[in-house]
């Protein structure tokens, strides 16, 4: 088999599993990826958190079982103004440095979550993505893939969206969630290791990065910003539509 050109990324594959399907080797690799990127991670807490999730999206190199990245998803239900709400919560999302430029993980995540949300909409529910981020890289996915989300740098958060974010934040994170500000401050935070996603003066020229720092000034200490985006085709940017393999919108 020919080798890929020097500097080229290996082809990547993804799959979705339940936490119960993850063996000891997969869990070891997932924990190692977390420990590579975050400070103060603990194996017992990792195992407990992992087992509470509904789905785990794994990224591997073709022809290898070695995990190159993963994302965990859990599903919450509530109501707002008598309408059912479903939220898909993203917490741990990690990609190994060598695979960071690949779109395989976000593509599979989008297809899984949009497929699940389609079933919820059939029974009248609105579906949302609830994202927490201590890294500007994670937050930066929102303006790339979604037209409307909150909080954002150029539109004030609507009252209903602020209420929903607070409701979901308290439901997902309990006393660790700070209403109004939308910050999750865990009792034992796991901040990013220095050098993983530092906010430099050059990066602050991006208004989305500058906004992220302004609303989450404690990000370097492990504070997590909660963000909300509706999971629906009309809310997708052109990049979001490409991620899902949808045709270009006709204008």
pLDDT at 6 exceeding the cut of 80: no
Start-to-end CA distance of the chain, whole Å, equals: 45
Percent of the chain topping pLDDT 70: 95
Spatial separation of the C-alpha atoms in residues 222 and 225, rounded to whole Å: 10
Give residue-wise pLDDT tens across range 114-155: 999 999 988 899 999 999 999 999 999 999 999 999 999 999
pLDDT at 5 exceeding the cut of 50: no
Spatial separation of the C-alpha atoms in residues 70 and 94, rounded to whole Å: 6
Confidence of residue 91 (pLDDT cuts 50, 70, 90): confident
What pLDDT sits at residue 10?
57
> What are the structure tokens assigned to 70, written together?
């993963």
* Phi, then psi, of 121 in degrees rounded to 5: -70, -25
Domain ranges of the chain: 73-243
Question: Which uninterrupted H or E stretch holds 167?
Answer: helix 159-173
Task: Name residues whose C-beta falls within 8 Å of residue 20's C-beta, 6 or more positions apart in sequence.
Answer: 51
Average the pLDDT over 10-28 and give the result: 91
Spatial separation of the C-alpha atoms in residues 165 and 14, rounded to whole Å: 30
Q: How many residues does the chain have?
A: 251
Confidence of residue 169 (pLDDT cuts 50, 70, 90): very high
Tell me if residue 186 falls in helix, strand or coil.
coil
The reported pTM is 0.91
What pLDDT sits at residue 247?
87
Spatial separation of the C-alpha atoms in residues 180 and 189, rounded to whole Å: 20
Give residue-wise pLDDT tens across range 20-73: 999 999 999 999 999 999 999 999 999 999 999 999 999 998 777 889 999 999
Give residue-wise pLDDT tens across range 200-210: 999 999 999 99
Residue of 180, 175, 188, 94 whose CA lies nearest to 133: 94
- DSSP bridge pairs for 126: 85
What pLDDT sits at residue 232?
96
């Amino acid at each position: 088999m020919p080798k890929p050109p020097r500097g080229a990324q290996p082809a990547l594959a993804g799959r979705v599993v339940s936490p119960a399907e993850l063996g000891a080797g997969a869990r070891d690799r997932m924990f190692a990826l977390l420990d590579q990127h975050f400070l103060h991670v603990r194996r017992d807490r990792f195992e407990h958190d992992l087992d509470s999730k509904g789905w785990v999206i794994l990224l591997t190199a073709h022809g290898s079982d070695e995990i190159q990245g993963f994302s965990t998803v859990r599903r919450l239900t509530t109501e707002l103004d008598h309408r059912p709400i479903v939220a898909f919560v993203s917490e741990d999302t990690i990609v190994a440095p060598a695979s960071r430029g690949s779109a395989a993980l976000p593509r599979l995540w989008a297809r899984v979550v949009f497929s699940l949300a389609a079933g919820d909409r059939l029974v009248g529910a609105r579906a949302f993505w609830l994202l927490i981020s201590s890294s500007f890289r994670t937050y930066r996915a929102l303006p790339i893939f979604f037209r409307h989300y909150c909080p954002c740098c150029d539109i004030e958060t609507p009252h209903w969206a602020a209420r929903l974010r607070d409701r979901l934040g308290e439901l997902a994170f309990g006393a660790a969630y700070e209403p109004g500000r939308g910050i999750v401050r865990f009792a034992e935070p796991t901040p990013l290791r220095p050098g993983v996603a530092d906010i430099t003066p050059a990066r602050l020229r991006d208004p989305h990065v500058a906004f992220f720092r302004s609303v989450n000034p404690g990000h370097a200490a492990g504070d997590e910003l909660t963000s909300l985006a509706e999971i629906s085709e009309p809310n997708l940017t052109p990049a979001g539509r490409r991620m899902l393999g949808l045709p270009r919108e006709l204008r």
